[in-house]
Amino acid sequence: MRYLSKRFLAVLTAVLVSISAAGCGELEYDIPFDKDTTKSAFRFESQDVRECVDPFAANLCIPGEESTSENEIPAGEDSYSAAMLFDLKGRKTPYCRHPYERLYPASMTKVLTAIVAMENCDMDQVLKANEDCVLTANDVQKIKLKDGDTMTLDQALHILLIYSANDVANLIAVNVGGSIEGFAEMMNAKAAELGATNSHFVNPSGLQDEDHYTTPYDMYLIFNKAISYGKFIEIIGMRDYSTVYHDASGGDVTFECETTNRYLKGLYNPPAAVTVIGGKTGTTAAAGSCLVLLSKDAADSSYISVVMKADNTEVLYEKTNSLLSVLQ
């Protein structure tokens, strides 16, 4: 049996591509990330032209070597589990510690919840609470939603990201995904699309579950997508928020809140010449203290920092400031 020449294969490929594109105008290659394939790009060749799809990670920061413990915070490197700093303009990681360690995200989960909601629901869509949105535990952040309460998605996103209300996370889930379980499926599909393949989510809030986890690098991928939405950046930069939603009978319910971000509240100050734009906190007993943050340096270049499983709030903000100190 004779082997086909490389020349013949190239011509055959060109013919097949031409046939498939006939009547469709200019060739366009739309090949999304697929976690089940080992290929990162696909090449189409012909006699006269070679075109290659941009690799999935072309515009992403890629973790490098583990950073040393030089200039460590007073509490030491054992006071937190993982920390990373991403230079979005330079596509670099100036600091990298345990990028792929699976950890509990707590309320940082709500960043992904917001993405899925914004991509699948209009901001003026009215959301209605059911019994899954009624949380009674005393140690859970909530606004005490009742069955039949209503608010728009715009209101819900503000309360979700600023106040971190878990009952409002459920409100979004049951209205956008049909159920908490259905919304979790949407979250996992979106995470996979973003390349966050070391993550798994079972709820929209981040309340503790052993099967609900992510990594610092996956958290960067998710947050990096979120900040592509102007509405998201607008909300995470707000110090406080007030609104009026409605109960089951149509009556007004007034709600006011402050952010959980201690930078925006003025309780912690970033290093000189660093501007904190906003971010999302997360805290549970199992997750520790967590924070994913968007900041800018004096040249207006953007950075994402991630600190996970800090021993307490003081360690969390000290470590974040340690990361941001390289921006000066």
Determine whether 319 is an active site residue: no
Determine whether 164 is an active site residue: yes
Task: Find where tokens 């075109």 sit.
Answer: 51
CA distance 95 to 99: 10
Long-range contacts of 241-247 (CB under 8 A, 24+ apart): 241/158, 241/159, 241/162, 241/163, 243/151, 243/155, 243/158, 243/159, 245/149, 245/150, 245/151, 245/155, 246/149, 246/150, 246/151, 247/146, 247/148, 247/149
* Angle value at C-alpha 192, between 188 and 194, nearest 5 degrees: 120
Pick the catalytic residue from 67, 164, 199, 305. Answer: 164
CA distance 67 to 256: 42
The Cα-based distances of 124 to 51, 117, 154, 169, 179 in angstroms read: 42, 12, 6, 17, 20
Pick the catalytic residue from 67, 79, 81, 110. Answer: 110
Determine whether 296 is an active site residue: no
As a whole number of Å, the end-to-end CA separation of the chain is 67
Pick the catalytic residue from 79, 81, 107, 305. Answer: 107
Strands 50-52 and 288-296 turn out to be unpaired
Q: Which residues are catalytically annotated?
A: 107, 110, 164
